[in-house]
Structure 1
C-alpha cells in the first residue's frame, strides 16, 4: 500500500478532529518506532493489534497500519488491512489499495483509462473532501500515458481536470517533456508556460503566505523556465528569452545555476558576449566541461585570438579542484562503518567484512528517487575511472522501495539502463535492533553516499545529487583518493 496518510497530511491545511488524534498517536510512539529495541517494537505491535478489535473508524486502522510499517511489522499488516477494507469498502484504504495495485500497475493506456473510470465511479472525489491531490496523482498518471501514445489532445484535457494548483506542475511538466521529445513543441509550450506561471505565482507570494505548498510549487520554476526558454532560443526569440530569465533571476536568484545554460546562450545571441563569457567561465569552473566549445568561441572573440587559452583553462580546472577539496572537508567524518551482509541481484552475499582492505563507495538509492537516478550517469563515469583499481569497490544500496515487487523493478531498471552496478538489496533486518542498513547508517534522505576506508571507517558522508557527470567524476576521485590515505585526524 502507498504511504499516503502522512504524505497527505503534510499538505493539508486543516485536519479533522479524528485525523488529528490519529496523527498525535503516531507521534506519541515515535521514540519506539524510531529508536526502540526489537522487544519494544514487538510489544507495541501486539498492543496495536489487540486494540484494533475495538476500532470504529477508518482513521484508526490507517494509523495502526502506518505504525506497523514504521515498526517493521509489514507481515502483520495484511490481516488488519483486509478487515478494514471489508468494514469500509468505499473508504480511503480500499481506494488507495485499488490505485496502487490496479491503476498504477495497469499496462497500456486503455487499461489505465478503464481503471480511472472505476476509481471515480466507486470512490468519487466528492466523498473525500481534501483529497484532491490523490486524484491529481491519478490524472497525472493517465495524462502521461496519453502523451506516451502521442495523443496530445487527451493528455491536455486530462491535465486540465487537476485541481491542486501547487502540485499540477508535477503532471504538466513530464507530459510537456514527453511531447517535446516527440517534436511536438506546439502542444508542449503552453503546458510549460502554465508550470512556469504557477511557480512564479507562489514564489512572489508575500513571505507570510508561503506555506509548504508554495515552497513545493516554486521548485518547478527553473526546470519549466529552462525548457520554455530553450524553445524560445531555438526559435531565435532571444530578446523574449532574456526578459523572462532576467525577471526570474530577480524574483528567484537561487535559480541562477539552473538557468545558466539558457542564459548564456541568450546573451551570446544578443551580442552581450562579456556577460555570456563570465557565466560560461563559472559553468566550466564548476565542472560543466561540455560548454567548452562556446567558451573557446567567446574567448577568441573577446581576446582577438586563442593565445593564453590553455593557461586560462588550466586555471579554471585548478580552481575547481580547490573548490571540491574545500567542499569535501565539510563532509569529513571518522567513525566505524556499521557491519552489513546483504544480497546482490544474483542472490550472492556481500558483506562489509569481505571487503576489508578496499575503499568502498556506498550509494543509497531507490527506483522512485529522481535525484538518485539523475546522479547515476556521473556515478557510472566515476566507477569506470576505477574499473582497473582492485582497491576500490562501488556498492549501490537499494533501499526504501515502496512496491512489493521491488526486486523485479530493480532488476528491470538496471538492465534497461545498462548500468554495470553492484546492487545490494537493503531488506535484511538486524537481529538485535530490527533496523535495515539505511537506518543503521542513519540515512535521513536519499541519495546518500558514504566513503569507507580500507580499515572499515566512514571517512565521508554526502547527500544530494547533480546531473553534472564531470563534476561527479572529479568529486568522487578526490573523496576516494583521500580515503586511501591514512587518517590524520
Structure 2
C-alpha cells in the first residue's frame, strides 16, 4: 500500500501562443503563486489566470493553494479548490489534505475521504490507501467501530502487511473489544519500537482485561526495558567509523559554515528539499528531536536544503518552514553553476533524500539514515540513540 504525500509543486507550463508583451506579466503572476502570501490574495490571482488563460491547466498551482488554505485552517476553501483539480489525479493530494485538515476540522476530513472512497473508478491500491486514511480519521474522532471496519478491509486485502499496518489493525481491534487476540500483537509493537503513548495505554488496558489482578504498569515497564536494551544494541551494531568531508553550506543570511566550525560537538545533518514528500513528512519528528536537545550545547543540527528545483530555493525553503511552523536551523547547499552539482550532498555520496548523518566531535561519521521512519516517536527514538552513542 502506498502513502502519498502532497508536494508543493512548480508547474512547468507552455507559454507558446502568448505575445512577448503578455509573457512577463503571465510569468510574474505564476511566480506570485509559488510563495506564501495571504491565500485569499493568491486565490484571486489564480482565478484571474484561469479566466484569462482557459487553455492552460492550473491543477498543480491549485494544489499548492489547497495546501495554503489547510495551513490557514480554512477547510471550506481548501476543499473547494481540491475539488477544482480537474486533470491531475486527486489521489496524489488527498492524503496530505486530509491529514492537514484533520488537525482542526475532523468532520471535513471525514467528508473528504468518504467522497474519494465513493469514486468507483479508484484503483485497488488507491482504495487501500483511502481506507487506511479513513481509519485514521475515524480513530481521531473516537469512532473506533468505523475505524476498525476500514482498517480491517484494508488489512485483509493488503498485498504486504507491514509492521506498522499490523500494529494499527490490532490496536483498533483492541479498541473494539478484541483484547485477547490483539494483546500479543500490541506487545510486538512495543518491542519493535512502533508504539506511541496511545498504543502503550491500550496495551495496558488489554493486559488488565485479559489478566485481571495483575500489575499492568510493571508489565509495560518490563517490555519497554526489554525493547530499549535490544534496540540500543541493534543501533550500536550499525555504528560506522568514516571520516566526514569538511563540507561547506550557507545559512539563510549567506554566512558560510563548515564541519570544522562544530569541532567537539555531535552534528546531525538532514539533507532535504521542499519538493520531496518523505523529507517534509519527516520534519515534524525532526522538530521533536531538535526540541529535545535544544538546551544541549554539544549537539548541533543542520537542516540542509539541496537539489533545488526553483530559481530562489532559499526563499522557497524559508517559506516552507515558516508556513508549517517549523523552527529548524536551515542551511543551503546551492547548486554550483559550473558543475551543476550541489557540493555538500555530493561530497557525502548521497543518492536519495531524506538522508541523515550523525557525526561525532572528531569529525567521524558514526551513523547514516535514509528514508522516512514512522511513527514520529520511532524516528526520534532512533536518532536519539544514535546521538547518544556518538558522544
TM over 0.5: yes
Indicate the residue corresponding to 1:138 in structure 2: 61
Determine the structure 2 residue equivalent to 1:43: none
Matched residue, 1:75: none
Q: Relative contact order (alpha carbons < 8 A, sep ≥ 6): 1 or 2 greater?
A: 2
In structure 1, the residue corresponding to 2:356 is in which secondary structure?
A: strand
TM-superposed deviation, 1:103: 3.4
Q: Does 1:101 align with 2:31?
A: yes
In 2 relative to 1, CA 142–381 (structure 1 residues): closer, same or farther, beyond 3 Å? closer
Aligned-residue offset at 1:192: 0.4
- Gaps in structure 2 of 5+ consecutive residues: 1-8
User: In the TM superposition, what whole-angstrom CA distance separates every residue of 1:162-218 from its partner, at most 9, and x where no partner exists?
Assistant: 3457x3023444444555444361x443420244466994235xxxxxxxxxxxx57
- Find the aligned partners of 1:253 and 1:317 in 2 and give their Cα distance: 33
Tell me the residue number matched to 2:151: 245
User: Residue 299 in 1 paired to residue 220 in 2?
Assistant: no
What TM-score results when the alignment is normalised by the length of structure 2? Answer: 0.76
> What is the TM-score when the length of structure 1 is the normalising length?
0.63
Deviation at residue 252 of structure 1 after TM alignment: 1.6
Moved more, 191-200 or 283-292: 191-200
2:234 to 326, 336, 340: 326
**Do the aligned partners of 2:138 and 2:147 also contact (CA within 8 Å) in 1?**
yes
1:313 aligns with 2:213: no
- How far 1:478 moved relative to its partner? 2.8
- The answer to whether 1:89 aligns with 2:12 is no
How does 1:10-49 map onto structure 2 within 5 Å? none
**Comparing 424-433 and 282-291, the one that deviates more:** 424-433
**Partner residue, 1:193:** 114
Question: 1:199, 1:362 → 2: CA distance?
Answer: 44
Structural mapping, 1:22-421, within 5 Å: 88-89=17-18, 97=27, 100-105=30-35, 107-119=38-50, 121-125=52-56, 135-143=58-66, 150=74, 152=76, 156=79, 158-164=81-87, 167-177=89-99, 179-183=101-105, 185=107, 187-196=108-117, 201-203=122-124, 217=126, 220-221=129-130, 224-230=133-139, 234-235=142-143, 238=145, 240-254=146-160, 256-259=162-165, 263-264=169-170, 266-285=172-191, 286-291=193-198, 292-307=200-215, 309-310=217-218, 312-323=220-231, 325-326=233-234, 329=237, 332-387=239-294, 390-411=297-318, 414=321, 421=328
Instruction: State the alpha-carbon separation in 2 of the partners of residues 97 and 254 from structure 1.
Output: 45
Change (3 A) 1:387 1:104: closer
Shift of 1:453: 3.1
Contact 2:307–2:335, Cα closer than 8 Å, also in 1: no
- In the alignment, the residues of structure 2 paired with residue 321 and residue 234 of structure 1 have an alpha-carbon distance, to the nearest angstrom, of 34
Q: CA RMSD in A?
A: 4.1
Q: Which residue of 1 aligns with 2:332?
A: 425
1:395 alignment partner, SS class: strand
Task: Quote the offset at 1:332 in angstroms.
Answer: 4.9
8 Å CA contact retained: 1:342, 1:428:
no
CA positional deviation for 1:273: 0.7
Distance change in 2, residues 1:476/1:228 (3 Å): closer
In structure 1, list runs of 5 or more residues that go unmatched: 9-57, 59-84, 126-133, 205-216, 485-489
Total equivalences in the alignment: 377
Q: 1:448 aligns with which of 352, 355, 373?
A: 355
Please give the alpha-carbon distance, in whole angstroms, between the structure 1 residues aligned to 2:99 and 2:130. 15
Indicate how the Cα distance of structure 1 residues 274 and 366 shifts in structure 2: closer, same or farther if over 3 A, else same: same
Q: Secondary structure at the match of 2:123?
A: helix
Partners of 1:365 and 1:396 within 8 A in 2: yes
Does the aligned pair in 2 maintain the 1:104–1:112 contact within 8 Å? no
Distance 1:100 1:116 in 2: 12
CA distance, structure 1, for counterparts of residue 30 and residue 298 of structure 2: 43
Cα distance, 1:113 vs. partner?
3.8
